[in-house]
A = this chain, B = another copy of it.
Amino acid sequence: MATINQNFNKLAGGYLFPEIARRANAYQNENPQKVLYRLGIGNTTEALTPSVIKAMAQKVEDLSKRETYSGYGDEQGDKALREAISDFYKKREISLAADEIFISDGAKSDAANIQSLFATDNIVAIQNPAYPVYVDTNVVSGRSSDYDQKKNQYSKFVYLSGTKENNFFSPPPKEKVDLIYLCSPNNPTGAVATKEQLQQYVDYAKKQRAIIIFDAAYSEYISDADLPKSIYEIPGAYECAIEINSFSKFAGFTGVRVGWSVVPKKTVVENSVEGELNRHWFRRQVTFFNGASNISQAGALAVLSDEGLAEAKELIGYYMENARIIREALETLNLVVFGGDNAPYLWVETPNNLDSWQFFDQLLNQCQVIATPGVGFGSEGQNYVRFSAFGHRENILAAVKSIKENLVI
């Protein structure tokens, strides 16, 4: 008698985006003449850049001829791409060998699967608010207690509250934890950890022999030279940190699907020796995965060329100008806005102590603007909404015009 993995039933309803869609559709049906402005989802909207297109078109052509066709690549990714990422880190004086880098089909897969390296009784610490994947994958894998609907939390997890008092980046927990998920620049708050803040976590992890899982998917949006783009800029991090990154927001690969993870050979846990975690992640990837698409990997390699990097910078600049436009408009209305300076997300305090969904409804009904209710990312998001800077400029301008003209606070 086969039986289901009961942990799936512990999952709180993943109802955030479906509920947004439901309310948006209901409004649209009642107001068919109105145009909705979607600033909710972190989805790229601008074309891939010329060098990426050229490389992928060439790869497709290569696959059309038997002389240049290729089938299975290495599960851990094309060596040329892993070496290019190694070189990319080297520019920031970070030393990672190509066999410490693993190419995947995106940061989400890596963020979801990395927990399988660790024992199921390990205690997980998660930022609050946070990207739901860290929470949900640990629930499915058996590291949580039941969901406490009242608290909007799982009691076995340790939540690291990000509030305006701590600039949305909590210090390390007082209790002992084993796996710590950190996302910087943060989704959803747009907050970026300083070197000092990350150093506290590295010190904590080394002392407690904990592992930091550092999600750097938005790192290329950092323009402030003093802010760290990688956890490996922090002394001691090689021994205790795994990093996850992606070409999705870096270069518009949300649909093309390439990411990478870094498991340094020096990274160790209580009952492992140097190199063991790296070897297990290799074994995990060659066993559960068969490599990212070769066309997509050809595109990713082009991103890392000088030309590709210059184009990616321009693309990021476009979205960050969107962020600036949104921030300026919201501040004109005396709304309190966080993030959006080194990240493509703006974390906006609701006016009049409204809860997330109340302000969501107000924005929808008065301005036809769709934001994301902060509470969908955790209990600390209750009095916030997230604005995304991804969008065509003309839509962003139209959205902020509507907010400025129609929002009654």
Contact = CB atoms under 8 A, between A and B. Distances in A.
A293 B296 contact: yes
A182 interface: no
Contacts of A117: 4-5, 8
A72 B255 contact: yes
A60 B60 contact: yes
A125 to B, nearest CB: 11
Interface residues of A, number: 83
Contacts of A1: 176, 178, 208-210, 269-270
A329 to B, nearest CB: 23
A254 interface: yes
Contacts of A295: 56, 60, 256, 293, 295-296
A45 B71 contact: yes
A133 interface: yes
B71 A211 contact: no
Interface stretch (A147-155, A186-194, A271-279, A378-386): A271-279
Chain B CB count within 10 A is highest, among A5, A45, A255, A280, for: A255
A64 interface: yes
Q: What is the copy number of this chain in the assembly?
A: 2
A263 to B, nearest CB: 12
Interface stretch (A89-97, A108-116, A365-373): A108-116
B293 A256 contact: yes
A5 B256 contact: no
Contacts of A43: 71-72
Interface string A255-298: 11100000000000111100011001001101111111111100
A65 interface: yes
A50 B210 CA distance: 52
A122 B296 CA distance: 37
Interface in A59-75: 60-61, 63-66, 69-73
A242 to B, nearest CB: 10
A66 B245 CA distance: 24
Given A3-B271, A14-B283, A47 B72 contact: no
Contacts of A72: 41, 43, 254-255
A29 interface: no
> For chain A, what secondary structure do more than half of its interface residues adopt (helix, strand, loop), or is it mixed?
loop
A6 interface: yes
A409 to B, nearest CB: 32
Nearest to A41: B72
B252 A71 contact: yes
B280 A5 contact: yes
Given A105-B290, A280-B4, A255 B47 contact: no
A228 to B, nearest CB: 22
A14 to B, nearest CB: 7
Contacts of A277: 4
Nearest 8 Cβ contacts at the A-B interface:
A71-B254, A255-B294, A1-B270, A112-B288, A2-B178, A2-B269, A43-B71, A293-B293
25 contacts: A1-B178, A1-B210, A2-B118, A3-B178, A4-B117, A4-B280, A5-B116, A5-B119, A8-B284, A14-B287, A48-B63, A56-B63, A57-B60, A60-B295, A71-B255, A72-B255, A105-B105, A105-B257, A108-B290, A109-B288, A109-B290, A140-B284, A293-B293, A293-B295, A293-B296
Interface of A: 1-6, 8, 11, 14, 41, 43-48, 50, 53, 56-57, 60-61, 63-66, 69-73, 105-106, 108-109, 112-113, 116-122, 132-133, 136-137, 140, 176, 178-179, 208-211, 252, 254-257, 269-272, 276-277, 280, 283-284, 286-296, 390, 392
